[in-house]
Structure 1
Amino acid sequence: MMIRSVETVTTQAWSRELEQRIRESVGAIRYGTVTLVIQDGKVIQIDRNEKIRLK
């Protein structure tokens, strides 16, 4: 079942706006994660979790 979900997402026609938002999220952090929340084969949310390194 998981493979079907992945196939649905990979064949989705991503808009330029979505691609730009993902790039901005990735470019805005130094350490951390960017998570895409997908529902019914569509990205519905972008979570950005930044880690701050204390020296």
Structure 2
Amino acid sequence: MTATVRNLEGQDEVSILREIQAALQGLKFGAVEITVHNGQVVQIERKEKFRLNPQSSHNT
């Protein structure tokens, strides 16, 4: 997992919405979590799941 530090403090609504949109970009399975403190967005977290196709256990 990687963390990118971005300063959201003092950003306008459009900038925050742009960051949320970027977190959603290309997400097929997972979640985007937005953390708010004192009415301010302080963190946007993206959790992505990768679905793997199980290989057949048959050796025939």
Fold conserved between structures, TM > 0.5: yes
Match of 1:44 among 42, 45, 55: 42
Task: Give the % identical residues.
Answer: 29
**Structure 2: 5+ residue stretches without partners:** 1-11, 54-60
TM-score relative to the length of structure 2: 0.64
Larger radius of gyration: 2
Q: Which protein is richer in helix relative to its size?
A: 1
C-alpha RMSD of matched pairs (Å): 1.1
How many residue pairs get aligned? The number is 42
Correspondence for 1:16: 14
TM-score relative to the length of structure 1: 0.69
Give 1:28 deviation, angstroms: 3.2
AA partner of residue 31 (structure 1): F
> After the TM superposition, which parts of structure 1 deviate over 2 Å for at least 4 consecutive aligned residues?
none
**Structure 1: 5+ residue stretches without partners:** 1-13
